[in-house]
Amino acid sequence: MPNKGEVKVMAQKETNNLRSALNKHCIKNCNKEDRASTTEEGICIITSSIIDGDLVRCVGKWSYKKIHWLTRYCSIFANGMKNKWKLNYIEICCGPGRCIIREDGREIDGTSLAIINHEVFNYFNKAIFIDNNSNSVNALNRRIDYLGKHYIAKAVIGDYNDIVGVKEILSDVPKQCLNLVFIDPTDCSIPFSLIEAMSSALGNADFIINMAIGTDLTRNIRHAILDANFIKVKMKYIDFLGNDDYFSNKEVINAAKQDDNSIMRNLFIEEYKRRLGAIGYVYTGIEKVEHYYDLLFASKHSLGLNFWKKSQHVEPSGQARMDF
């Protein structure tokens, strides 16, 4: 662990105490080509955390907003349900727990540690964090142990494409509980069969899914619709949606021919919401994280959507939103 004098903690208002600190070893503003040599699976290989010397994940500054909306919902969800249910939290693609903002070199807690360090975390019965990177899992477990939360939380190795493996992990989740599931991939590659399997295994669960609408989808969807050479990408999106109805939709095909990304994106989201509704998740909401991602909320109950809407009343800056 570093000496306290080595850590310059940033004084700024945040949704939660993300233990923000300036990491002077970050090279800053690295582009996609730079990151090919400075990261491995998103983990920085140039520097480590100045808080605890462990792994950090390279992220963009918009991560603050993602963490804000997640922790806001988690807080309202936990406070609203703590006396009615035993609560569990499950996160897929959890990472090592600490992130570094590539634009300015600030280091912060990622979603997993933001949840663990939140004041409502003790209302949860169990928390499981899943990632396919063993180094990230080991780093997060070290941080969980250091925080003394190992009796509630654990990180495990798992691949979201391995449905049987994920179901086996979830078998450790107590039954007759209410679960909050956050899924945070970097592209639209989560198979819909995973959502179906998790819903079935958990019984009672609300989902928050990070959809890479402004990045992965925007770059590739037109080619996937019109170009036979993009069959692998097309199959990835078919797996994500759970069927190929989107690609046979005449409105989608026309939008692709006219190169109208807005219509293609909106119809993709609507098809995903339709598929969620088919398995009972009829209450959905969307929060955009700038032009990069859409956070999609899904619940089988109207109260969950009410909580989601309530969580959106306050901006990451702390100001009340004018549209509520």
CATH at 90? 3.40.50.150
Give per-residue pLDDT as tens, 32-50: 888 889 999 999 999 999 9
Whether 316 is in a domain gets the answer: no
End-to-end CA distance of the chain, in Å? Answer: 44
The DSSP code sequence of 207-261 is EEEEE-IIIIIHHHHHHHHH-GGGHHHHHHHHHHHTSSHHHH-HHHHHHHHTT-H
Residues ≥6 apart with Cβ < 8 Å to 233: 220, 223, 224
320 inside domain: no
pLDDT > 70? residue 280: yes
Residue 323 within a domain? no
Token pair, residue 74, equals 């988690």
The answer on pLDDT for 59 being more than 60 is: yes
| 144-166: average pLDDT | 97
Rounded CA separation 208/183 (Å)? 6
pLDDT per residue over 175-228, tens digit each? 899 999 999 999 999 999 999 999 999 999 999 999 999 999 999 999 999 999
Beta-strand runs (E) in 36-195: 39-40, 43-44, 57-59, 87-92, 98-101, 106-109, 124-131, 153-157, 178-183
Angle of helix 63-81 versus helix 302-311 axis, rounded to 10 = 130
Pick left, alpha or beta for residue 129 (phi over 0 → left; psi -120 to 50 → alpha; otherwise beta).
beta
The β-bridge partners of 21 are: 9, 107
pLDDT at 67 over 80: yes
Give me the pLDDT at residue 4, please: 36
| Per-chain mean pLDDT for the chain | 92
Q: Give the pLDDT confidence score for residue 320 in this predicted structure.
A: 84
Whole-angstrom distance, CA of residue 215 vs CA of residue 212? 5
Residue recorded with tokens 């700038």: 290
**Cα Rg, the chain, nearest whole Å:** 20
Q: CA 157 to CA 140: how far, in whole Å?
A: 11
Q: 10 versus 146: which is more confidently predicted?
A: 146
Residue 276 lies in a domain: yes
- Total domains present in the chain: 1
Question: What CA–CA distance (Å, rounded) separates 262 from 268?
Answer: 10
What pLDDT, on a 0 to 100 scale, did the predictor assign at position 11? Answer: 30
Question: What one-letter code names the amino acid at 257?
Answer: K
- 3-state SS class at 181: strand
Tally DSSP H helices, then E strands, for the chain.
Answer: 12, 13
Q: pLDDT (tens digit, 9 = 90+) per residue, 292-305?
A: 999 999 999 999 99
List strands edge to edge, sheet with 57-59.
Answer: 21-22, 106-109, 98-101, 57-59, 43-44, 39-40
Give CA–CA dist 218/237, Å, rounded: 12
For 86-110, what is the mean pLDDT? 96
Sheet holding 124-131, edge to edge: 153-157, 124-131, 87-92, 178-183, 205-211, 293-299, 283-289
Assigned domain for 153 exists: yes
Per cent of the chain over pLDDT 70 is 94
Closest CA to 68 of 136, 144, 12: 12
Residue 19 within a domain: yes
Confidence of residue 8 (pLDDT cuts 50, 70, 90): very low
Report if residue 322 sits inside a domain.
no
Residues contacting residue 32 through CB under 8 Å, at least 6 positions apart: none
Q: How confident is the model at residue 323 (pLDDT cuts 50, 70, 90)?
A: low
Indicate the pTM of the whole model.
Answer: 0.92
d(CA 280, CA 282): 6
**Averaged pLDDT, 131-147:** 97
pLDDT score of 298: 98
Q: What is the residue range of 191's domain?
A: 4-311
Instruction: Give the pLDDT confidence score for residue 46 in this predicted structure.
Output: 92
User: Which pLDDT score, from 0 to 100, does residue 26 have?
Assistant: 92
Is 142 within the bounds of a domain? Answer: yes
Which of helix, strand or coil describes residue 114?
Answer: helix
Q: Given this model, what pLDDT does residue 142 score?
A: 98
Confidence tier at 324 by pLDDT (50, 70, 90): low
- Give the per-residue pLDDT at 12: 33
